Amino acid sequence: MEALQLFLDNFADWDSFVRIWPLLWQGFQLTVLLSVVTLPIAIVVGLTIAVLYSFHNKVAKVVLLIWIDLFRSFPVLVLLILIFYGLPFLGLKLPSFAACVLAIVLNNSGYYGEIFRAGIESIPPGQREAARALGLHPLQIIFLVILPQAIARVAAPLASNSLELVKTTSIAALVALPELLRSARVAQEQTYNPTPLTAAAVIFFALLWPFARWVARLERDMLMRQR
């Protein structure tokens, strides 16, 4: 009992929690804002890459594959540090929010690009030929015929990657952007106990858990279908 009380006093101290809540709430809002701004941009860029790839121009294919693999290979934090601390040497100083958006978008343009690309390539060529025979414009073919089928096939990795993107926003803490994790660290230094860290972890968990469950179900269904 005593040990449990000691543990609770340290890791879940209510008084500290009440004191630091305004700070955490601000951090939470910034985390949500960062996610809401970054997610759609990354999806659109990734989709654009995949659509350009689908026209099968030889040069474009090579360039786009290099783009995809390059940005998938960088740890996103390395991109962020390059952008935030490296670019100023070229006279381009981005505020930390913009630097985070740019780093996460570049990194995820590779992930989303590859997911959409694999989805589009998995559609049988007969679909494209049939659509062409009906006299559809190439853009109509890709957006009205190919993409709806492709997206349905890659729903699981799309959802999973979107979850990872939101989780990734926590790296913003390392360039002093006061999102949830950073706020919790600052608060921890004020309270001298880890309650703010526990609170931040609980908030992240409560925010993302339903989504994580849903992603897990999609992935399991996908494995079942392809067996």
Q: Which residues bind another protein (CB under 8 A)?
A: 7, 10-11, 69-70, 72-78, 81-82, 85-86, 89-90, 114, 118, 122, 153, 164, 167-171, 173-174, 181, 185, 188, 193-194, 197-198, 200-201, 204-205, 208-209, 212-213, 216, 219-220, 223-227
* C-alpha–C-alpha distance, residues 99 and 1, integer Å: 48
Considering beta carbons, is residue 51 or 173 the nearer one to another protein?
173
Looking at the Cβ atoms of 43 and 114, the one nearer to another protein is 114
Q: Which is nearer to another protein, 14 or 139 (CB)?
A: 14
Q: Shortest distance, CB of residue 171 to another protein, whole angstroms?
A: 6
Rounded to whole angstroms, the Cα distance separating 157 from 192 reads 41
Assign 3-state DSSP to the chain and report helix, strand, coil percentages, each to 5.
85, 0, 15
CB of 147 vs another protein, minimal distance in Å: 17
- Cβ neighbors of 25 (< 8 A, separation 6 or more) are none
As measured in angstroms, the least distance from the Cβ of 150 to another protein is: 12
Q: Is there a contact between 173 and 179 (Cβ–Cβ < 8 Å)?
A: yes
Count Cα atoms within 13 angstroms, Cβ side, for 3: 0
Q: Minimal distance in Å, beta carbon 219 to another protein?
A: 7
State both tokens at 22. 């305004």
Closest CB to another protein among residues 45, 188: 188
Which residue in this structure is represented by tokens 């926590």? Answer: 170
Smallest separation (angstroms) from another protein to the CB of 58: 19
